[in-house]
Amino acid sequence: MRRVFIASGISEAQLVRQMLETAGVSVQVLNEHASGGLGELPATEAWPEIWVEREHQLAHAQSLIRDYESASDQTVDCGTCSEPNPVTFEICWHCREPLLQPG
C-alpha cells in the first residue's frame, strides 16, 4: 500500500475516501478512530491517513487528490442533508444522495 494523503480530520478523511472509492480506487483509512473529540488537535501521527491498496491506482489517486485540494475551497451543499461537499463530488459523502451541481 502507498500513502497518498494525510487528512486534517476524520471528516476530511471520509471525504477523500468517498471521492477515491467513487472513482474506483481501492483505499484504506488508517488512524480513522485515533483522534479525540471536536476541537482537540491530535498528534500528527494520529491524523487519518489515506492509503491506496493497489500500486497501479496510485497515479490516478494522486491526480484526484490534486483536484480535490485545488477545489477544496469550493463546496456545494447537499440538497438532502445540507452537508457541504466538494464541487467535484457527484454523490454526497454523508448521505450518498446525488448532488445537484450548480450550473
The contact set with Zn ion (CB under 5 A) reads: 78, 80-81, 83, 92, 94-95
Give the nearest distance from C-beta 80 to Zn ion in angstroms. 4
Residue count of the chain: 103
Whose Cβ is closer to Zn ion: residue 10's or residue 52's? 10
What are residue 29's phi and psi, to 5 degrees? Answer: -105, 120
CA dist., res. 19 & res. 40, Å (int): 26
Whose Cβ is closer to Zn ion: residue 32's or residue 77's? 77
Q: What are the grid coordinates assigned to 60, written together?
A: 490516478
Give the nearest distance from C-beta 6 to Zn ion in angstroms. 25
